[in-house]
Amino acid sequence: MNAPAALDPTELRLGYGTNGFANHRLDDALAVLADLGYQGVALTLDHDHLDPFAPGLAARVAAVRRRLDALGLAVVIETGARYLLDPWHKHAPTLLHDDPALRIEFLRRAVAIGADLGAEAVSFWAGVRPDGVEPDVAWDRLVAGCGTVCDAATAAGVTLGFEPEPGMLVEEIAGWRRLHAALGAPPAFGLTLDIGHCRCLEPAPVPDCVRQVAGHLVNVQIDDMRRGVHEHLEFGTGEIDFPPVLAALAEVGYRGLVAVELPRHSHAAPTVAAGSLDFLRAAARTASTRPDPPGAAPGPEAPDSAPLLCCGGGDTSGPAPSRGVQQSKGGG
């Protein structure tokens, strides 16, 4: 198979996550994002945005499809809703719990919704290993659950993007590779890459992370972050130098959405979304002219062995994992 042709960084397709518009009606959020100039959305299925368990799902999905088409917005499906499945425990149950049936049903519904919406990918993650569940047991449960979801995605013609998430059982690209191999490398099982997570804990510079996974990349989330701290930050407030990152995405010919992931910024969603788009467009223009050599390490690099004090960014829950992740006490 030939490698995708390189792009100019200004040709990258920018989107925004609806988890950063939690205080808006979905129709209104979509309209704001289209008016700002975004080309797509990362739609988190949740109680306030296309609840997959509420009555009348088929009609509501059809209405969202019409709305997306009318606004000219592409879509990926995200499944990181915090309390959709359990009002008491964030993200529970996951594929790692004793009874993952509700999580599997949720992911099956997400796949079906993705198919009906023409989504470019359906994104999901492993979850935090529950107390009392041994690592080998958790891993076996994850492989089994992902296999079931892959079967559903293959049958529906939907691409999955599995996201390594700091603090979860699979938190790094290396863990995704192990899982991909354990599943038998199914074509439907791609990678969701969060750019901030790369800065948080990957050993390689962020642009190199992009290049390393180019052949499996189906979904990109983008945000700023600091080394060792899992907190999704507005652009320019963390440590990432974005022009080389956008240049790497363009270099490998990535044509999916690059969606802003700021799940704790709903209180100022239109302002943050507007500023994020301006920032990324400016970074793309810089990337199209900056003579950075391939593999250059941007920005201030902390030692790769620095301890991780990850703050969750609204995405992790449960006991601290083996790498010493500290969970956020903020508004997640």
pLDDT of residue 301 exceeding 50, the answer is: no
Query: What is the SS3 assignment for 30?
Result: helix
- Whether residue 43 contacts residue 323, with contact meaning beta carbons closer than 8 Å, is answered with no
Question: Residue 5 gets which letter from DSSP?
Answer: P
Confidence grade of residue 308 (pLDDT, cut at 50, 70, 90): low
Q: How sure is the predictor about 1, in pLDDT bands with cuts at 50, 70 and 90? A: low
pLDDT band for 298, please (50, 70, 90 cuts): very low
Share of the chain above pLDDT 90, in %: 86
User: Pick from 114, 119, 122, 179: which is nearest to 145 by CA?
Assistant: 179
124 in a structural domain: yes
What is the average pLDDT across 272-290? Answer: 96
Establish if 112 belongs to a structural domain: yes
CATH number for the domain spanning 86: value is: 3.20.20.150
**CB burial of residue 72 (10 Å; 0-12, 13-18, 19+):** exposed
Range from 114-123, 147-156, 208-217, 311-320 carrying the lowest mean pLDDT: 311-320
54 pLDDT higher than 60: yes
Question: What is the mean predicted confidence (pLDDT) over 50-62?
Answer: 98
Domain presence at residue 318: no
Q: What is the pLDDT of residue 3?
A: 81
Check residues 3 and 139 and name the one with the higher pLDDT: 139
Q: Which two structure tokens, joined as six digits, stand for 330?
A: 């903020």
Question: 277 in a domain, yes or no?
Answer: yes
Residue-wise DSSP of 177-191 = HHHHHHTT--TTEEE
The answer to the question of residue 92 being in a domain is: yes
Please state, in angstroms and rounded to a whole number, the distance separating the CA atoms of residues 49 and 179.
30
14-33 pLDDT, tens digit per residue, is: 999 999 999 999 999 999 99
Over pLDDT 70: what percentage of the chain? Answer: 87
Domains held by the chain: number: 1
- pLDDT of the residue at 328: 40
Q: How many CB atoms lie within 10 A of CB 277?
A: 19
- Among 47-56, 117-126, 322-331, the minimum mean pLDDT is found in 322-331
| Helix ranges, 118-229 (H) | 135-156, 173-182, 195-201, 206-212
Residues in the chain: 332
What is the rounded CA–CA span in Å between residue 148 and residue 4? 30
Range of 154's domain? 9-289
Give the mean pLDDT of the chain: 90
Distance from C-alpha of 329 to C-alpha of 308, rounded to nearest angstrom: 16
SS (H, E, C) 272-286: HHHHHHHHHHHHHHH
How far apart CA 230 and CA 249 sit, in angstroms, is 22
**Helix or strand holding residue 109 (H, E):** helix 101-117
What is the token pair recorded at 64?
A: 């969202």
Provide the angle, in degrees to the nearest 10, between the axes of the packed helices 26-36 and 57-71: 10
What is the C-alpha to C-alpha distance for residues 270 and 33, in angstroms, rounded to an integer?
8
* Rounded Cα distance, 95 and 130, in Å: 10
State pLDDT tens for residues 237-262: 999 999 999 999 999 999 999 999 99
pLDDT digits (tens, 9 = 90+) for 140-185: 999 999 999 999 999 999 999 999 999 999 999 999 999 999 999 9
Look at residue 59 and tell me if it is in a domain: yes
Task: Assess whether pLDDT exceeds 50 at residue 300.
Answer: no
Q: What is the CA radius of gyration of the chain?
A: 18
Question: How far is Cα 184 from Cα 146, in angstroms, rounded to an integer?
Answer: 11
- Over residues 303-330, mean pLDDT: 42
Assign 24 to helix, strand or coil.
coil
Residue 114 corresponds to which amino acid? Answer: G
Is 44 among the domain residues?
yes
Strand pairing partners for 17? 42
In terms of pTM, does the model score above 0.85? yes
pLDDT at 312: 43
pLDDT per residue as tens digits for the range 229-239? 999 999 999 99
Q: How do 160-162 and 217-222 pair as beta strands?
A: unpaired
Residue 326: pLDDT over 90: no
329 lies in some domain: no
- pLDDT at residue 310, rounded to an integer: 52
